[in-house]
Amino acid sequence: MKPALHAAKRLFDSYFKQVALVATVIGVAVALIGQRHAIANFDWRLDPAAMALAVGLFAVAPIVQGLCFWLVLRSLGVPSRLDEALVIWSRSFLLRYAPSGALALVIRVKSQDRLGASSGDIYASFGYEQLVALISGAAACVGGFLLARGSPPRISIAVLVVSVAAGVAARPAFLGRWTQSRLRDRGIEVPSLMRGRWIAVVSSVNLLGWAATGAGAWVMVDALTTSDRPGFWWLLGAYAFAWLLGFIVPLLPGGLGLRDATLVAFLAGGLGAGAATAVALALRLANTAGEFVAIGLVELVYLAIVRSRPARRRFSLGSRPADAAVIVVDE
């Protein structure tokens, strides 16, 4: 059995790029099919400037999340370059559309040398990312409703309390080192831990992405409705709650289904069921477009950075390969 598993692993490693490409195409196709009603029913006469602004605002959050990934790595002592971290994160972000989403973590593990990280660092950073996402998402939800002078859903309050408590418990001085030791006893090496203040800092940075997302949602709703528009803070809280449910109860790639239905339920009270459904589908479409814009921007910037790096010329000294010294000169 083991030789067969090793052979399968070698085959998977050899064709990982092809597998990832096919899986992502399938996942994106499923996502687009799931949004066929949004595409068909979307009011394409919408002000292009409003649509472009909303898509641009929705593109901010993925880039901020990529920045948070880099900050998590740095807080773990991983000397990763920002451009490398952003491009690897954006590719894993795209691969989350692939069925099961497992390839999103696989590509990070396979890129660990580029990040200067170990597999333990990658797994630890992934866990901390989920914690940061929960804290910031729940905080955006609760904060949005409170600033709108409304009552946050009890689930969001519970998630915020539990996630903050988990962040406190994960501190090295509390349960962090104990958990690290228990994992080491089971053969799972976690080289380093995030300090509590770093979790707070990265969660705060991630909240900036939520501010842009709330602004993008408000721009879309303002452009699509003429009366009974929800306020910015209330809309931010409702949008964050819909995301939160999709995060803790995953259904389809990108939270398709549950998030949209939750948002419709919130918007229906002021807009009516029909209008709320149209607005929710338009928001999903703009959000997806923003994600792809963010991925494209990261790839273009990374390509420009790579091309701007000095070319490297190799000179060798010595008559035999074994005796040769290699000098690398930047042009």
Q: Provide the 8-state DSSP code for 180.
A: H
**Which range of residues forms the domain containing residue 115?**
14-330
Confidence of residue 217 (pLDDT cuts 50, 70, 90): very high
> Residue 300 domain-assigned?
yes
| 187 within a domain of the structure (yes/no) | yes
189 pLDDT band, cuts 50/70/90, is: confident
Say if residue 75's pLDDT is above 60.
yes
The count of structural domains within the chain is 1
Q: What are the tens digits of pLDDT across the range 105-145?
A: 778 888 888 888 888 888 888 889 999 999 999 999 999 99
Residue 325 lies in a domain: yes
Q: Are 121 and 109 in contact (CB under 8 A)?
A: no
Q: Per the domain annotation, does 31 fall within a domain?
A: yes
With respect to residue 3, please indicate whether it lies within any of the assigned structural domains: no
Residue 37: predicted pLDDT = 57
Q: Do the domain assignments include residue 299?
A: yes
Q: List, in order, residues 6 or more apart from 133 with CB less than 8 Å away.
A: 65, 206, 247
Q: Say whether pLDDT at 323 is over 60.
A: no
What is the sign, positive or negative, of the torsion defined by CA atoms of 86, 202, 181, 102? negative
Helix (H, G, I), strand (E, B) or coil at 264: helix
Query: What number is the average pLDDT over the span 20-45?
Result: 53
Entry pTM: 0.77
Compute CA 303 distance to the chain's CA centroid, rounded to the nearest angstrom. 21
Asked whether the beta carbons of 73 and 83 are under 8 A apart, the reply is no
- Identify whether 52 is part of a domain: yes
- pLDDT more than 90, % of the chain: 31
Whether the Cβ atoms of residue 77 and residue 198 lie closer than 8 Å to each other: no
In the predicted model, is pLDDT for residue 237 greater than 80?
yes
pLDDT, tens digit, 9 for 90 and up, residues 243-275: 888 888 754 444 556 787 888 888 887 777 777
| CA 208/CA 206 separation, integer angstroms | 5
DSSP letter at 253 equals G
